[in-house]
Structure 1
Amino acid sequence: MSLYSIPAHVAFVDALAAGLLERCAGDPLALAQAHVLLPNRRATRALTDAFVRLADGGLLLPRMTPVGDIGDDSFDRFAAGESALPPAVPALLRRLELARLVRAMPRDVGRSAVEALRLGDELGGALDALLAEEIAPDRLATVVENADLAEHWKETLRFLDLVITNWPPARDAIGGSDGGTRVAALIDALTARWRAVPPAGLVVAAGISGSSPPIVRLLKAVAVLPQGLVVLPGLDTDRGEIASARWAAIGCRAADAQSVVRDSEEHPQFAMKALLARMEWGRDEVADWGVATGRDGPAARTEAVMAAMAPAAAGWHAEAETTAFEGVRAVEAATPAEEAQVIALALREALTVPGQTAALVTPDRGLARRVAGQCRRWGLMVDDSAGVPLRLTPPGALALALVEAMAQGFSPVALLAALKHPLTASGERRLAWLGHVRRLDLVLRGVRPPPGLEAISEQLERWNVDAGARLRRSGADAEALAAGRARAAGLEAWWDGAAAMLEPLSQLEERGETDLPRLAAALREVGGALAGDRLWSGTDGRALAGLIERLEADGGVFGRFAIDEAPALLAALLSDIAVRPAYGGHPRLAILGPLEAQLQRADLMILGGLNEGVWPGRPAPDPWLAPAIRGQLGLPGLARATGLAAHDFVGGLGAPRVLLTRARRDASAPLVPSRFWLRLQAFSGDIVHDDGLLLLARRLDGAGRAHPVAKPMPKPAVARRPQILSVTEVDTLVTDPFAFYARSMLKLRPLDPLDQDPTAASRGNHIHGVLERWVNAGTGSTALLARFTEEMLSTEGKMFPLLRALWAPRARRALAWAGTEIERRQAEGWTTMMAEAGGELLLGNGITLRGRADRIDRDDSDRLVVVDYKTGRSPSGAQVRAGLANQLGLMMAMASAGVMRTKSGPVRPGVPEAIAYWRLAGGREPGKVLDPLKGRPPLSAVDHVDDVLARAERRTEWLLKTLTPFEPKLQPGLAWGDYDHLARVAEWLDRPTRRDRTGGGSA
């Protein structure tokens, strides 16, 4: 007997190691002469650990070789010299060459670079599938001609046939071979040698479940060796009547020498049945390995799980034993974050039992990273053996940030992300570097500068000039002015150095397109200048260095691409490189992917992420081979991945203790439970839900009971309270004294967003500027106003083309309406118009008010109208009458008192006639004059001026001349303000923190 199986509930590597030691017990050198073939490197490491656990003293281990990893060179070294084929084409070079072929497709000229790379990967997968199944290229052409397919599928298959035909010459020109073809050739040469000269020692093929023709030939060759053993993982060997019916319902039987008939690929035993069919062995010829270990689960559970997974044709013919699911718990968390917290608690709980091991197995790498982060809070370093995408490591993130900054023309957000990266300027210069970056952050706040490093230098120069002017206006002494100039010079010198480091990427950005070697060379130069050797150190740094080196050497085959495609292309290349941690993680805890968990066993197995689309994953449609074509060619169907996921799930359930977890929803939508979860729940009905872990997870980071705070009531000394304020600050004193305190006394200012598109305020300033220029020019004709408008739009359109396209029509309509309205008013006798008139007014209590009016109109009778331009929402008449909007009334008081001036001279006193808001929207209604004093009953401008002056004097006397506290939100019905979060308004006002219909931000 040479064909064996280790059941799913038995710890595979422990049983395999124990069985091999038992078979070699009579000869101390027999184990050292043995050769064990395993599916992958992780399995060899797990078997090594199993031998170490079982060793009593010294032990000579057998030779162990992984054969399932196509990119692994261990099997190649094992069979060195057995094949005349050259080494396999490097994976990245092959990938880029196939993507180049995809880009050459004539009917898809507009395809992006990253889409070509994705389709090239799928093309490589289709090519590997054909090579693995040893399907001749001419069969594809036959299928294309005979299949009843849509025309686009026929065109796709013709192109695929062309690639398969032309790929061998391109591969030979590179000087390599296909990995799958080379492995098959090595297997054939090795089996031929074995037939001629059988190995002297024991040869064991263990844990291999693949059923491709080369693997089948290898297993058959091992099985017929004098000392050959084939040990299958998790084969259902139950020969009972019900189990036999289940096995028969799995639709897989031998059809010919090269293919099998498939109709139950989603079943966990399908791969085993397909393998036995191709090996031409029956299940009755497979013996039990017959070794038990201390890490085995109950056999009854395996029988119950196999019954729960029965094909639909077989149905459920038995119920689970009462004790079958003892030791299995389930947790349904509300969110993935809560699920990660539950799993971390379970891992920590496992450590309370001496010697106990625990492992999380999940295909969800995001969940794995969350769990690892949760464990770090307790000092538990648990490595994810499936690896982390290079894109998510610090070196990969810096490389991607640099390319993103280049593609965006060094826009503020992208540029600062690169300059603030933890690897940038690490070491002793880090603190000074961050100080300069923070000052640059302030410089770049607001509307986005034009693209390029030079534009940032120009904005920095303007900022330093304006900062110096602000210092001089504030009355700073000579020492403060000198310190300000030194800071400005230091910032400019630092930026000159930083810009020089970024220059290689800037040169690429200016060209508009590039290729992978040039991009990699620029990244190497810029990354080295910014981060030094730290960028290339460690496992992740070496992985990035290797990628950069290969792109410089082989990236030219991909061809050129646009600069704006570079970030997505680099992200795809970085995402496909898994950085696996070196040894040093926790010895008793592990986080594994399903592939890494094959053949491994822990005392507690946590199967996480049990939702549809995760475990099992969604079958990815093949863009090159339609399902019908795959069936005709004899290729595995798209559901094969589901069957392999089911096999991994059954293997994980074989542990002594199992925890099943899932989240009910994520950030976007509710989640559907995995079909495996639903089958177990429906079949057993009594899996215990661990509410204790769930409650503990919720309490661990629970906020507890909230204790509301009282209103902040700051009460500074009268001597510290300002005696000069603007007319807009009077409105703030009326509605929200705390906001006045925060802004005017604490000098707190909300920062403008970074990388801001032109806002409504900035657009309004442009409208104001055009009208001010036109009024100061003596108004003149509407043709002159139109010329000023086009000059403004041309200047702004160079920086913001989208703004010019979308806003320019509205701006033209609004300004044209304003010009027509001014001409109409001139015809009515309002002959004098003064733009941007400003002044100061001393109140009776000694408080000075300052203000500036957009425009003041005067007629021959010295009647005055104060006009305020509004491109957005204007105060309502009710707000003006209620004293909540006093700005225009106070401006009128200044104008009528004769305390205002324009650039051309003082404004002569006059009689208040009206105040008006000009709404310049530029929409269907391009403009409208709003008089807030009209209403029932109408209010005269003279009376309104008297009211606002009295109100301003009372309010300033109350809040600026006495110890009255600055209470927040005296008018809670108004929009949320910039300082409401400091006043903690949401805590004591009992109002939702959301935008209301009046606008504003959240508290």
Structure 2
Amino acid sequence: MADRARPALFTIPAHRAFADALAAGLIRRFGKDRMALARGLVLLPSNRAQRSVRDAFVRASGGALLLPRLVAIGDPELDEAAGAALDPVDDAEPIPPAVAPIERRMILARLVEEERAKAGQPIDAAEAVRLAGELARTLDQLLVEDVAPTRLRDLAMAEELSSHWQRSLDLFRIVLDRWPEELHRLGRIDLAERRTRLMARLATRWRAAPPAGFVCAAGVTTASPSIARLLRCVAELPQGLVVLPGLGIDMPEAEWQALGPHEPDPVTGRRARSIETHPQFQLKLLLDRMGINRGEVETWREGGGHDAGAIRGRAVANALAPADFTGKWTGLAGADRRLTDVTAVELVTPAEEAQAIALALRQALEEPGKTAALVTPDRALARRVAAHCARWNIAIDDSAGRPLSILPPGTLLIALAEAAAQHFAPVALLALLKHPLVRFGPDRIGWLDGARALDLALRGPRPAPGLDGIDAHLAEGDERTRVVRARAREWWRDARPLLEPIGAVFDDGVQSLGALLAALREASIALCGDALWAGPAGRALAEWFAELEARAALGPPAIAPESLAPLVRTLLDETAVRPPQGGHPRLAIYGLIEARLQTADLMVLGGLNEGIWPGQPAPDPWLAPRIRAELGLPGLDRRVGLAAHDLAEALGAPQVLLTRARRDARSPAIPSRFWLRLEAMAGELVRAPGLEVWARALDDPGEHAPEARPEPVPPPALRPTMISVTEVDRLKADPYAFYARRVLRLMPLDAVDADPSAAWRGTAVHRILEIWTREDDCRVDALRPRALTMMHDARTHPMLRALWWPRLDEAIGWIGQAMAAQADEGRRVLAAELRGKIDLAGVTLNGTADRIDRLGSGGIGIVDYKTGKPPSAAAVRAGFSMQLGLLGLIAERGGFADIVGTAEAFEYWSISKRGGQFGYIATPVDPAGKRDRIPTADFTSIAAHHFTEAARDWLTGTRGFTAKLVPEYAPYAEYDQLMRRDEWYGRER
């Protein structure tokens, strides 16, 4: 081949639209003969760039045009993309096929699990799969950078590492030793190695026999040695061109040389640190590996129609100068720091930022033909903007795609795996049964009705594990829950069979991944039918299932059922689902990779906060940074330089809007280093006029008129005529809460799978003591077995069993001793959990006494069991906590069947701790009224007085039910949201 006198290298400055400029230039050079243009080959970095250049050719041609062949050399299926040009069928020495990514992942996971087990550090299959992904990425970097894995054995510094890195390195070496054997057995090679071989063979073929048409490598910034060699070959072809994006040919030579990479010092052997975070570092490294001097690169002559002008290009280059050269900012002329048509807006929250971006995109549509695009690495921000645009019926999708794990088919799969692994615990079970894909279609309304009935039935502490535990729970219930549980039980008979197969598989314990995946697939189909596979996400899930099940046997031989959900989540997180074509023709949302070579009249660069743009470099769990540097692998900060280059390219649009939020969901956010550099160099970023105000005004309700304290006044006919002694305090302290509960009949629901609350623990203790009293006649030796029976019940919450049993064990011992001592004094138990009622002040007062005793004096003793502290004397004096007095009043007036007498003792038996032991007796009364207590003889009459006043005001009278009337005695908050407490509480009236 006759080499050129010099390689043909060009660059399209960042302030020009790359794809349009490239298309215009190629048409000018080769478009006179349309067949010559069609015989050409254009090598591009990605499929997205391929589509962008194809559209640019259409725009530039103004009509019909035979396009050159566009090949994405970043395509994983590179041989299929380029066809016979790269992999001819008659090749004498064909390159072996590449191992499938999921196949490699499974094999590496098995190797990692085996070697960790041999080292005495066993891990589960989910963690092995995660580490295998990191291992594969590190291995690919070695292959891409032409670093032989065998060099790891020759590292002299390995023993200087910390023990953590030493263990990781040892394991990495072992796995790399075994991996070639696995590849040889399969007859495959790594995908990265195959791509390297294909490009090397292509370069060799082109050097020997140049193509008949032109070859143009455009937009490629990857600096791997194989890419550099191919680009060098293309640049030297008779009709070859290499077009680089945004190379800083005007960058001062001192700054250019400071970037690195540097030659080793002849004395110390050390290399000066390269500035990998600079946007030009990757391009400089590429030129160095190509053996090209920057002075040999020419500027592409053609423009793109979306050009921003060279002035802004110089300003951006100055703003992103290496740190050691930023001192020049103070001496720059105004033109060299002017960011014309670049505006910025800072919002308070990410929600406001998304609102502002959506408004900017919507505003762009008001100008005919104007295009706009959002570029951001923050996928949550991208989704929010798309959702805001939907309010104007604008379909705009994120071209970077969304992880399958957050789309309905993926979330269904994860929910099912978690529910089965948790033995169908209530929260996981209900999340699965209410999933939008379950029973999708005309039957869904009836299905949801049944699921909601099950939700109500499962309120409270967790039932026994498994489907049988749900059955047993639904078969029980008191009067209040019997109707709900009956309805849930009827629906559950049809729903249960759908879950039985996967429940049986998961109950078998550790088994093969294939068996668990098959059970997961069959159960998903049983729940969702064909809806599971519908749409782009469903098709992606079908492909994911097919690939994983086919290669599951190559992975870890056994997996625990509880590891399946995290394993599935890890793999689904890495599966991106990109939207089909058909969104708005003038709007787009791009990730950083997708935005390369794209342009628009308005580019919105969103999420410019540190940790987002640029993102935090992902750590390498296998190789220490020092080892990576010694091997010549890219530093972890190199991605910062790529993000900076993406920013510089996007800043070349005619109009640019920079956005950031001052805080994220948890804390104040730090502006991106790029934002701070632009601001420091320019003096101040020009603020977008009105955008921040519009974003807030769009959802501004106008004047805020806070609600007054509620005080409903229902008519007497709607007021309750029956009240329990336990409700009197609520009536007096927070009448509104009483109104919501008794008049509106709004009963608070327990949480699903709730931890045992104080009320639930109290109910459990009361139940133990009630059965002990009725069936065991208060025998001391029978109390502890009764408590143990409850604790060993499968429905008892594990936390209650582990943490509360020790105190309960001690407390019931005290109860038995205290009752034995009272029996010796002639005191005996008359009844336990006895209900009674009387008519008082025009209403019926009822109550349940925990225990009623006959005293040695012949009087009556009222006992109330408490799992916490008894009410204080101050509360009783204030007219609250009169429960014992009202129960005594009911007893004295014959409200309890077969019990007569005068109430002479009022006792709280608390099993909380005091004086170093669990269990003590407290009383709100004293025979002589000492210690600020109420005289015993007056307690029932005082209780009757307070109750009569309350009944006269709210039950038989017309007084309004004021919210939080006495806040210090209204600690419960079930109805605070209903009363809109935060709007009025604490305000001046």
For Structure 1 versus Structure 2, the TM-score category normalised by the shorter chain is over 0.9
CA deviation after TM superposition for structure 1 residue 201, in Å: 0.5
Q: Deviations over 1:63-115 (max 9, x none)?
A: 00001234555446351225622321111111121121111122353323332
SS across alignment from 1:968? coil
CA deviation after TM superposition for structure 1 residue 694, in Å: 1.2
Mapped pair 1:164 → 2:171: no
Q: Deviations over 1:339-397 (max 9, x none)?
A: 11121111111111111111111111111111111211221111100000001111111
Mapped pair 1:510 → 2:510: no
CA deviation after TM superposition for structure 1 residue 936, in Å: 4.6
Determine which of 125, 130, 141 is the counterpart of 1:129: 141
Runs of 5+ unmatched residues, structure 1? 472-483, 993-1003
What does 1:76-155 align with in structure 2 at a 5 Å threshold? 77=83, 78-81=85-88, 84-105=94-115, 106-107=118-119, 109-143=121-155, 148-155=160-167
Contact 2:18 2:304 in 1 (8 A): no
Aligned length: 963
- Which shows bigger deviation, 971-980 or 113-122? 971-980
Say if 1:51 and 1:937 are closer, same or farther in 2 by CA, change over 3 A.
closer
Contact 1:726 1:849 in 2 (8 A): yes
What does 1:286-365 align with in structure 2 at a 5 Å threshold? 286-317=297-328, 318-319=331-332, 321-322=334-335, 324-365=338-379
AA in 2 matched with 1:238: D
SS across alignment from 1:920? strand
Say if 1:417 and 1:892 are closer, same or farther in 2 by CA, change over 3 A.
same
SS across alignment from 1:64? strand
Determine which of 1, 8, 22 is the counterpart of 1:2: 8
- Which shows bigger deviation, 880-889 or 410-419? 880-889
Provide the residue aligned with 2:843 in structure 1.
847
Mapped pair 1:43 → 2:40: no
SS across alignment from 1:671? coil
Q: Deviations over 1:481-536 (max 9, x none)?
A: xxx6xx97764343222111112221132123343322221222111111111110
What does 1:645-794 align with in structure 2 at a 5 Å threshold? 645-690=643-688, 692-777=690-775, 781-794=779-792
Say if 1:144 and 1:93 are closer, same or farther in 2 by CA, change over 3 A.
farther
Runs of 5+ unmatched residues, structure 2? 1-6
Mapped pair 1:394 → 2:408: yes
How many angstroms apart in 2 are the aligned matches of 1:523 and 1:563?
A: 11
Q: Deviations over 1:432-485 (max 9, x none)?
A: 11111111111111111111112112222224xx45x988xxxxxxxxxxxx6x
AA in 2 matched with 1:377: R
Provide the residue aligned with 2:925 in structure 1.
933
Determine which of 200, 216, 227 is the counterpart of 2:212: 200
Contact 2:460 2:753 in 1 (8 A): yes
- Which shows bigger deviation, 769-778 or 799-808? 769-778
AA in 2 matched with 1:966: F
How many angstroms apart in 2 are the aligned matches of 1:19 and 1:360?
A: 27
Q: Give the ranges of 4+ consecutive aligned residues of structure 1 lying more than 6 Å apart after TM superposition.
A: 487-490
Provide the residue aligned with 1:492 in structure 2.
489
Determine which of 907, 912, 920 is the counterpart of 1:921: 912
AA in 2 matched with 1:878: A
AA in 1 matched with 2:592: P
- Alignment RMSD: 2.4
Say if 1:91 and 1:589 are closer, same or farther in 2 by CA, change over 3 A.
same
- Which shows bigger deviation, 714-723 or 395-404? 714-723
How many angstroms apart in 1 are the aligned matches of 2:952 and 2:654?
A: 79
Provide the residue aligned with 1:838 in structure 2.
835
- Which shows bigger deviation, 392-401 or 762-771? 762-771
Contact 1:333 1:339 in 2 (8 A): yes
Provide the residue aligned with 1:859 in structure 2.
855
Say if 1:462 and 1:788 are closer, same or farther in 2 by CA, change over 3 A.
closer
How many angstroms apart in 1 are the aligned matches of 2:550 and 2:284?
A: 45
CA deviation after TM superposition for structure 1 residue 195, in Å: 2.1
Contact 2:216 2:243 in 1 (8 A): yes
TM-score normalised to the size of structure 2? 0.93
Provide the residue aligned with 2:517 in structure 1.
520
SS across alignment from 2:324? coil
CA deviation after TM superposition for structure 1 residue 15, in Å: 0.3
Say if 1:782 and 1:126 are closer, same or farther in 2 by CA, change over 3 A.
same
SS across alignment from 1:395? helix
CA deviation after TM superposition for structure 1 residue 144, in Å: 5.2
Contact 2:87 2:94 in 1 (8 A): no
Q: Deviations over 1:93-146 (max 9, x none)?
A: 111211211111223533233322222111111111111122223322111577
What does 1:537-616 align with in structure 2 at a 5 Å threshold? 537-559=534-556, 560-616=558-614
Provide the residue aligned with 1:984 in structure 2.
980
Contact 1:222 1:229 in 2 (8 A): yes
AA in 2 matched with 1:861: S
How many angstroms apart in 2 are the aligned matches of 1:965 and 1:577?
A: 60
AA in 2 matched with 1:549: A
Contact 1:319 1:684 in 2 (8 A): no
- Which shows bigger deviation, 768-777 or 17-26? 768-777
- Which shows bigger deviation, 861-870 or 2-11? 861-870
How many angstroms apart in 2 are the aligned matches of 1:73 and 1:800?
A: 59
Provide the residue aligned with 1:476 in structure 2.
none
Provide the residue aligned with 1:477 in structure 2.
none
Provide the residue aligned with 2:261 in structure 1.
252
CA deviation after TM superposition for structure 1 residue 34, in Å: 0.8
AA in 1 matched with 2:19: V
Say if 1:867 and 1:549 are closer, same or farther in 2 by CA, change over 3 A.
same
CA deviation after TM superposition for structure 1 residue 772, in Å: 2.3
Contact 1:76 1:186 in 2 (8 A): no
What does 1:895-906 align with in structure 2 at a 5 Å threshold? 895-901=891-897, 906=898
Contact 1:216 1:279 in 2 (8 A): yes
Provide the residue aligned with 1:970 in structure 2.
965
Contact 1:735 1:969 in 2 (8 A): yes
Q: Deviations over 1:11-42 (max 9, x none)?
A: 10000000001012321211111100000100
TM-score normalised to the size of structure 1? 0.92
Provide the residue aligned with 2:4 in structure 1.
none
Say if 1:370 and 1:937 are closer, same or farther in 2 by CA, change over 3 A.
closer
- Which shows bigger deviation, 939-948 or 107-116? 107-116
Mapped pair 1:179 → 2:191: yes
Say if 1:64 and 1:646 are closer, same or farther in 2 by CA, change over 3 A.
same
SS across alignment from 2:392? coil
How many angstroms apart in 1 are the aligned matches of 2:961 and 2:949?
A: 15
How many angstroms apart in 2 are the aligned matches of 1:165 and 1:470?
A: 64
AA in 1 matched with 2:846: R
AA in 1 matched with 2:94: A
CA deviation after TM superposition for structure 1 residue 254, in Å: 7.0
Say if 1:147 and 1:965 are closer, same or farther in 2 by CA, change over 3 A.
closer
CA deviation after TM superposition for structure 1 residue 320, in Å: 5.3
How many angstroms apart in 2 are the aligned matches of 1:65 and 1:358?
A: 27
Overall identity of the aligned pairs, in %: 48
Provide the residue aligned with 1:481 in structure 2.
none
How many angstroms apart in 1 are the aligned matches of 2:148 and 2:942?
A: 95
Say if 1:857 and 1:991 are closer, same or farther in 2 by CA, change over 3 A.
farther
CA deviation after TM superposition for structure 1 residue 568, in Å: 1.4
Mapped pair 1:874 → 2:881: no
- Which shows bigger deviation, 425-434 or 246-255? 246-255
Provide the residue aligned with 1:56 in structure 2.
62
